[in-house]
Structure 1
Amino acid sequence: MAPTPRRTQVGIIGAGPAGLFLAHLLHRQGIESVIIESRGRAEIEGTIRAGVLEQWTVDLMNGMGLGARMMREAHFHSGITLRFNGESHHIDMEELTGGKRVTVYAQHEVIRDLVAARLEDGGKIRFGVRDVRLLDLDGDTPLIAYRTAEGEEVLLRCDYVAGCDGFHGPSRQAIPASARTEYQKIYPFGWLGILTEAPPSHPELIYARHDRGFALLSTRSPEIQRLYIQCDPQDDIANWSDDRIWAELHTRLETRDGWRLTEGPVFQKGIIAMRSFVCDPMQHGRLFLAGDAAHIVPPTGAKGLNLAVADVLVLSRALAAFYREGRRDLLAGYSATCLRRIWKAERFSWYMTTMLHRNEQETPFEQRIRLADLDYVVHSRAAATALAENYVGLPIE
């Protein structure tokens, strides 16, 4: 005998930033939702990922009462440093954008805050589910079928489904292939990232272009720093000893004026590939995609989490208009509204990535163009302003 369907207004698949932010936004509008997540709570809170939050994202968290720990523990950066040809150039984003800045606060810390607040509010998160299927997406009450960690079969009837389950989740695949277009670029390089126990070497992020490849210096806390170097995405991390990593970081980051990088014990390292991806449209029937289920950006532009939050902010407003006024126009326009911002973020992330990375497939002419682009950015107020306003976050429409 089939189980009796349970009921909610919005079924959310995925307890990453998109799903959790959406649940909180809906809760504040009096809209009920249930989150289902394939991983356990400890896993989603323990997966260490960097995070750079745009100004409006920080303002949103504070406005929702979710930013107290962030404001105590995060790092607030008024600018970034671009480094090339052995010289450093400060981009004062706060001055160029009328007071906006970015906040360095790791994504898993954001998730911890959102999960704790969701559960404190009495919200529903079902961890460890499996065999998720989406049914009747073209009907008035779509169905999410799944099994609990204990093996119980559950049917969840919804008015709408939000697919916030990442690139490999079932939501995007539930849209017929003939009904979606996927755009993708695979970059011929990856990032080797490390976490190290060391004091900060610099007060802000450093983005460096070097003949040996890109490097990035960031921070996690006063005691822990995060650094990256460009590498072959197919390389084996076993080929990279700590000594080899530090040698590359020193070479790529140090300058003619004697600035030195501070070393420390490495306690985590790994290699990630880089790509850009967009699914169009981001909706089908009563299913709406958000976050990595719909789009991926290379990390160079620091846009991933912020784009996910922008998606669900648009979606929450559209759902609120439906439940309050019976309006469907904002839901119908969800994909088009989100994609305007997404493609601008994709452009900026591609721009930062191609400008700063050494690509062996490029001609010497193209490599010189990249250096000319950097030189233009650091010597033109107009160019620096364009970079700064994209980096701190374009206005929310």
Structure 2
Amino acid sequence: MFAALFDTIFNRTPGPDAFARRFLDALRAQGWQEEMVHQPDQFRLVGASGFVVYLHNAYHAYLKASRRHRAHVLQHYVSGFVAEREESRREKPFEELRPTLMPLLRNRGMLEELRLEHVLSHGVEVPFGSAWRDVAEDCVELLALDLPETTSTLVAGPPAAWGLTLDESLLIARGNLRDATTDQFVEVAPGVFRGAWQDAYDSSRALLPDVLHRVPVAGQPVFMMPTRDCLLVVGDRDAGAMSVMLELSLEAAEAGRCISSLAFAYEDRRIVPFTLPTREHRQRQADLRRMLDAPAYHRQKELLDRIHQARDEDIFVAAFLVHADPDEGGCEISLGTWTDGVDTLLPVTDRIALVSPREEGGADVKIVEWQQAAAVCAELMERQPTLYPPRYRVRAFPDDAQLRQLTPVGWKLTQTAADNAA
């Protein structure tokens, strides 16, 4: 009570509990009558009927907004949830919904977070219904309804009553998006074009090759979709424009709602990954990937830790640590820890800290490159097929012969961090 009062008096940025109260107050102001309970460990509101409002995205958007726009952001999310709830109560025939079908591109980690939330709430025995089309290693295409106040994502795919497959529904959705799309690319730097629709489907236009092929770039279109609201296009012969595209992608990703760190091109109208031509390009792309992976791994670790605790499983979920490397001109690197005698889920990182505890206390730490460790210790690293961002389970530690094959790197940079994480 006092914390909320101080937030109001001093206009402080609210913590998660205070934000949940504000969100619930705003719901009630719109006539929401169902009793809702805040579950702070999962940062969600749960209604008596089982309706769940996850607050993570709304809270993130609220914090990113300027103080003068925060009320608008809160109202936007609350209105969206109210509208989605009302729509879910109405059983509309497919022909009425058909014009509202839209395709969405989303980061694969969003689905993984929903799946882990489902496991935490219902257990692994209850299947998690989801349907999507693979686009790339880190992003997927989903079906959605374009409602007046919000976009309702159909994570489970089209309802059975429609009598349509996912592919058939997505084909209709792409047709609707094409009908709603005029050429609205703006040249934001020489040779760099950005979509300017600002209608929540900017990135989804990457699913329309004919639209991107009309952008006047040098050569074939190469594009990035770092966030839901950012679609950038350059030509495959314009290396300078690619550099700018990467910087703009990094800038856009700071606001969250990220989709992909990859660059793409078209092959027979299919979206395929595009290998950026220079080492500098690939370094900046790696920076972008770390920016996307860090919060995703953090949230994944939180959920996995709670699941393991609930199931009484002794598995260590290693953190995804990011540090500046003075030996590499201050460039950032990511690090995970692999400790002898500890059953561990390793994130995919630039480097691994191999930690060997001593009987008398302390530990010997050897920092090695991920790629070398994955090659030398492949039989010890078990990819977990259901997890994204990806993790490898390691139940045993490299033996002395394997350790001798691994070249130590970055000792000064990561010794303290590895000791703390071990």
Larger Rg over CA atoms:
2
Q: Same fold (TM over 0.5)?
A: no
TM-score normalised by length of structure 1: 0.23
Q: Which has the higher contact order (CA 8 A, sep 6+)?
A: 1
